[in-house]
Structure 1
Amino acid sequence: MIEVADGVLVAIHPFCTTTTTVVVGADGTECLVVDPAVTAAEIDALAGELARRGLVVTGAFSTHPHWDHLLWRPALGEAPRWATATGAQRALAVVDDNARKAREALDGVDVSGMARVDALPQAVEVLPWEGRSCRVLEHAAHAQGHAALLLPDVGVLVAGDMLSDVEIPLLDLEARRPWDDYAEALDLFAQVALSVDVVVPGHGSVGDRAELVRRITADRNYLASLLLDDEQDDPRLAGAAEWLLTEHADARRRVRGDVAR
């Protein structure tokens, strides 16, 4: 794990460049785990490393209800794992589907903890964790009930599946207005950008404030290209995996269909 800011540790896993974030409490003995990933062995190793550092997991957070952000292992303990009210409701509704997707995607994944979510009150603004202040930035982009966490004391934005340097914006194509939802989420991130020194995406590399601004701009340009049906020269598509190219093609069709209506 790499300390990206005071008391904020990040691990990056080989599968889809997935990140795990650990926030150490002010007393230095407790921690909050955000989106632990990916294989059972990796999560157990994470738990072992936290124990070696003398840290006890007293809280956790799932940024959104996709399978790779709902993983858990007994080694992490019994602390509450919060999600937004909408995210928790969705997570419980798609447990079986998430388990199937996890098994198809990767060997060695423990799917037993996917229903382990505690719903936050609607429109909650601060996580109910006593370790340190964590603002909840809920929005509708990418998945139902998606939220980022902002740590004001160190200027860290844990963005979930947003603001990636390796993945294009992945719209929630089941939503009624996926393009608008994503644009509004980017506006939300732009509003807090001046208070951010470090951005941690759910997939990709950690960046500084300048990189955050660059990624917001890149994502806005990508959305604009979908709306205008321009040919996309986003470098994240160059040599991209087939699944990412499929997501891109599906987004183009959906947005163009919305425009036509």
Structure 2
Amino acid sequence: MQVVALHEGVIVARSVKWQTTCTLLHRGEETFVVDSLVYPDELDALPGILGQAGWALSGLLATHADWDHLLARLVFPEASLGVAETTAARLRAEPGRAAGRLRDHDDEDYVQRPRALSLGQVQALPVPGRLELGADAELELVPADGHTADGMAVWAPFARVLCCGDYLSPVEIPMLSPGGDREAYLATLRRLAPYVAQADWVVPGHGAPIDAQRAAAILREDTAYLEALAAGDAPLPIARRGKAMRAIHAENVARAGGGA
């Protein structure tokens, strides 16, 4: 796990698994934890990171309902979990799916955990919308679907930091998961563009935080890739052409219907 401070009120931790990111956003007396790390020792470190910073947890946010973004509940079982209304609907429609996917992952990686994942009460947040953070700041919640059928990005204006979920990744090409959609993904990229232009830092769901210039370049690459995907001949971005990315690309072509 790697931990870096991007701002006096922003700390990002990055998991060994898939470089999954977890972002702590702090202002005044409040702190939200956005998304999660994956392995038990990484999750167990989160209370210590909060303690070292002198921050008290106010609640959890998840950018979407994929299991690897929901695991902060394991270490903060009493905290509220805020998600977009689309994500709350997906969680209701897929009861137990995240816990089942986590069990499958743990079986493959020989991971043992002290407890099973239980999401408990989930708070559905209106998106687009705003969420107060401290006495003098707000987080802006931005619709972000296309990777999946649900999701939101979180813009922290006080720090000029965008937590964009599984978009704009320097290590992963656009992924059309089950329920995802190419046109919706492109619409999300267009929606994120003005936030990228204002950002000091962009925190993708997978990969290290990147500056606005790099994020803008990835946004252009991902837009070109998805536009070409409709014809079935989309070239992979130069820096993201490994074996795993070729496998994701093959699934994308199937889901996008090739030249359909």
- TM band (smaller chain): 0.7 to 0.9
Partners of 1:57 and 1:77 within 8 A in 2: no
- Quickly say closer, same or farther: Cα 1:35–1:231, change in 2 above 3 A: closer
The alignment's TM-score, normalised by the length of structure 2, stands at 0.88
Q: Residues 146-198 of structure 1, C-alpha deviation per residue, up to 9 Å, x if partnerless?
A: 100001122100011111011010124435xx111011001001132221111
- Deviation beyond 4 Å, 4+ runs, structure 1: none
**Which whole-Å CA distance do the structure 2 matches of 1:248 and 1:75 have between them?**
34
Residue number in structure 2 paired with 1:104: 104
Residue number in structure 1 paired with 2:188: 185
RMSD across aligned positions (CA): 2.1
> Which residues of structure 2 form unaligned runs of 5+?
none
- Quickly say closer, same or farther: Cα 1:53–1:139, change in 2 above 3 A: closer
Q: Note if 1:139 corresponds to 2:140.
A: no
Residue number in structure 1 paired with 2:122: 117
2:249 partner amino acid: H
**Which whole-Å CA distance do the structure 2 matches of 1:252 and 1:74 have between them?**
35
Partners of 1:140 and 1:185 within 8 A in 2: yes
> Which residues of structure 1 form unaligned runs of 5+?
none
Residue number in structure 1 paired with 2:131: 127
Q: Note if 1:245 corresponds to 2:246.
A: yes
Deviation at 1:113, TM superposition (A): 3.1
- Quickly say closer, same or farther: Cα 1:97–1:12, change in 2 above 3 A: same
Partners of 2:87 and 2:151 within 8 A in 1: yes
The alignment's TM-score, normalised by the length of structure 1, stands at 0.88
Residue number in structure 2 paired with 1:165: 170
SS at match of 2:97: helix
Deviation at 1:117, TM superposition (A): 2.2
Q: Calculate percent identity across the aligned residue pairs.
A: 31
Deviation at 1:211, TM superposition (A): 0.8
Q: Note if 1:225 corresponds to 2:234.
A: no
Match of 1:197 among 193, 197, 200: 200
Residue number in structure 2 paired with 1:153: 158
**Which whole-Å CA distance do the structure 2 matches of 1:36 and 1:72 have between them?**
5
**Which whole-Å CA distance do the structure 1 matches of 2:234 and 2:141 have between them?**
35
- Quickly say closer, same or farther: Cα 1:200–1:30, change in 2 above 3 A: same
**Which whole-Å CA distance do the structure 2 matches of 1:39 and 1:63 have between them?**
19
Residue number in structure 2 paired with 1:4: 6
How many positions carry a matched residue from both structures?
Answer: 252
SS at match of 2:49: helix
Deviation at 1:124, TM superposition (A): 4.2
Partners of 2:20 and 2:36 within 8 A in 1: no
**Which whole-Å CA distance do the structure 1 matches of 2:121 and 2:19 have between them?**
24
Bigger Cα displacement from structure 2, 165-174 vs 142-151: 165-174
